[in-house]
Amino acid sequence: MNAFVNKIYRNNTIIYKVILFLITTISIVYLFPKGGQFKYDFNNGQLWKYENLYATFDFAIQKTEEEIKLEKQEINANTKMYFLYDTIIVQQVKATFNTRINQININDTLTIENVKNFRDIGQKVIQSVYKFGYLEGVSENIVSDKDEIIALKKNNEVQDLLFKNLYTSKDVLAIINANLGDGTYSYGQKILLDILAGIIAPNVSFDKIFTDKVIDNEIENISYTKGKVSEGELIIFKGDIVEGKKLAVLKSLKSESESKVWTDSNYNWIIFGYTILVSLALLMLLLFLHKYRTDIFEDNNKVTFIFFNVFAIIFIQTLVVKYNADYLYVVPLSILPIIIKAFFDARLGLFTHVLTVLLLGYIVPDSFEFIYLHIIAGIVTILTVSELYNRANVFISVAQITLIYMLTYFAFSIIKEGNASQINLDYFMLFAANGLLSFLSIILIYIYEKLFGLVSDVTLLELSNTNTKLLRELNEKAPGTFQHSMQVANLAEAAANEIGANSMLVRTGALYHDIGKMLNPMYFTENQSTGVNPHNDLSPRDSSTIITNHVIKGVELAKKYNLPDRIIDFIRTHHGTSTTYYFYKKEQELNPDTKVDVKKFQYKGPIPFSKETAILMMCDAAEAASKSIKNPTAQSISDLIDKIINKQMSDNQFLNSDITFREIEIIKKVVKKKLMNIYHLRVEYPE
């Protein structure tokens, strides 16, 4: 049992990667669309590049979304509008009129004959107004065309009539005036006018609920097919252009085939196929890391970070496609290569981006167009986005990426349609939104730094500012060490640029590599301005311990100030496992008859494990040793650099740093040139 546990413990990193691989694969496959894949690829206006295609089963020709949309619009435009005729209002008006007429006082001005006449006129007006109906004001503008036929619901009957036959308030007033006669009204006519104007009320209203119900019913009965293709029937010849009816038939065949493929009996096989494809893509990513980015592969935190970002992009794109595929191109996929490049390098960023886009090809419509467009955009992202701390540079890069999106879409559109008249301008707005969302990468980089403990160029730029609290303290307590660190930073940055290493990282690491010296600054030569050397009062072994401890103290100080691990790596490795040779030889001189243990004069390591940390070791030793040359010449500096770096190589200090002999020679040349410039003597000016 203990042996089994020990075996698991020894292989915990591999076990973790396997679990991470399986979880990511399952999660991505789960996001894939639940449908089969059509085996033919086609687009409007393209040639049919396959053999003659015959129907292998009967299927209906589906109408396009545009055709269905037009049918719905026609239904909305042509369906009769229903109006409700209220007979109760008519009865109430008649009853009220009779009551009001009966209440008129008979006198010398109004006789019984006059009142009877007014009754007849009023009844005639009411009969005329309510023959078809009096339309309420809010319903007058429902119908734009007055000659349109509407349906009038009266009791349990529905009759068709022209909308213009319904009376409005203006029409009602005209009817009253026509029956009362033109000219000046008599006293009795005014009374009748007041009565009619007060009691006649609208009795016809627009029945929106019933009208909408009729429209919805007709829309539900729309046929979504427009014909049928029988088994064995020719669909398209090889070399024919995919357009018109052929395009509609092919789309219908694709839809029907995918639904037939995705059956219960085939479900497991299709899932198995998806799993293989996703596994291969993720496996390629792991193999790339194992072969070309060993330091990343061995760091489970970094592998998790990369897999998380791949899944996050696929998850977001899937949500958008399921919600509304019209917003397909609003998802800023360029964020992925920007982030990967910011934390690692451009090559890994592009490789990860390409694999992610290929996986998304199973989720999105028009997969070839999508893949081509985003791979081109990803390449442009890698080529243009650099120096994320430079706002102008980021803005220009995002503008270039957006322009590439637009140009590529424009090219696809004119290829499909044969002209530029059918280009959907909404896509250009989507690409503009995509560009704006790409700026989220700056925020995400900051969040990822906190979550995963990674370091980007933006953070490195902030840390390389010599006004930071820790560097100011170093300058105050150990000014000589501070100047030494500045010189080493310049040398290391120049060397890194020459061999293509991360110059910002190595410069920042160089600025902090000796911070441990500020705890005991006077024990280091560069800070001894008084000529008093405290090592004279110490044994060589004690002196060596103080010197080597500046690495341990530096690591402790860096952690106290929350410096990133990548910077602490420079403090930990800048001396590797080298020895304090001066004190070792001095110990031998003092104890000639005793074998001195060299390990007690060694730094604890580890040795450098990246090109950047190897560069710092070379530049640090070279700059420090160059101060010992009394009369610096080009030859003496060259010989000293060769001697120091060759000694480091013979001590296997660069065994784990993945640096080549050629790169070491380039670094030597850069360091020699820089030091010669530093120690170049000016011509002596006369008194």
pLDDT at 8: 58
Q: How confident is the model at residue 237 (pLDDT cuts 50, 70, 90)?
A: confident
- Predicted local distance difference test score (pLDDT) of residue 683: 45
* pLDDT given at position 449: 85
Instruction: Give the tens place of pLDDT for each residue, 449-478.
Output: 888 878 877 788 888 888 889 999 999 999
Closest CA relative to residue 47, chosen from 244, 240, 243, 245 = 240
DSSP character string of 19-49: HHHHHHHHHHHHHS-SS---S----TT-B--
Work out the average pLDDT over 282-287.
94
Cβ partners under 8 Å of residue 657, min gap 6: 607, 608, 609, 610, 611, 613, 614
Is the pLDDT at 657 greater than 60? The verdict is yes
Query: What pLDDT shows up at residue 389?
Result: 58
| Residue 259: predicted pLDDT | 66
Mean pLDDT of 354-361: 92
Across the range 293-302, mean pLDDT stands at 85
Which residues on neighbouring strands pair with residue 152, listed in sequence order? 83, 159
pLDDT at 492: 94
Across the range 236-244, mean pLDDT stands at 79
Q: Which domains does the chain carry? A: 2-31+266-452 (no CATH), 75-218 (no CATH), 463-678 (1.10.3210)
pLDDT above 70 covers what percent of the chain?
A: 91
DSSP 3-state of 61 = strand
**pTM over 0.75, yes/no:** no
pLDDT per residue over 614-652, tens digit each? 999 999 999 988 888 878 888 888 999 999 999 999 999
**pLDDT tens profile 73-88:** 888 888 888 999 998 8
Q: Give the pLDDT mean for 338-359.
A: 89
Per-residue model confidence (pLDDT) at position 6: 58
Give the lowest-confidence range in 18-22, 33-37, 198-202, 281-285.
33-37
Instruction: Using the predicted structure, report yes or no on whether residue 419 has a pLDDT greater than 80.
Output: no
Alpha-carbon distance of 194 to 178, in angstroms, equals 15
Please give the mean pLDDT across all residues of the chain. Answer: 84
- Between 17 and 367, where is the model more confident? 17
Residue-level pLDDT at 24? 93
CA 515 to chain CA centroid, Å, is: 40
Share of the chain above pLDDT 90, in %: 24
Peptide bond into 606 cis (omega under 30): yes
H or E element, residue 392? helix 391-417
**pLDDT tens-digit series, residues 507-539:** 999 999 999 999 988 888 888 777 778 888 788
pLDDT band at 682, cuts 50/70/90?
very low
Mean pLDDT of 79-104: 87
Residues 547-568 have a mean pLDDT of 90
- How far is residue 632's CA from residue 645's CA, in Å, rounded to a whole number? 18
Give per-residue pLDDT as tens, 265-280.
567 777 888 899 999 9
pLDDT digits (tens, 9 = 90+) for 14-41: 889 999 999 999 999 888 876 556 666 7
Question: For residue range 41-59, what is the model confidence (pLDDT) as tens digits?
Answer: 777 767 777 788 888 778 8
Grouping H, G, I as helix, E, B as strand and the rest as coil, residue 274 is helix
Mean pLDDT calculated for residue range 280-295: 90
Query: Scanning the structure block, which residue is given the tokens 């990369």?
Result: 306
pLDDT at 566 over 70: yes
620: exposed, middle or buried (Cβ count in 10 Å: 0-12, 13-18, 19+): buried
Query: pLDDT higher for 6 or 616?
Result: 616
Tell me what the mean pLDDT of segment 412-419 comes to.
72
Tens digit of each residue's pLDDT (9 = 90 or more) over 369-394: 888 888 998 898 888 876 665 666 77
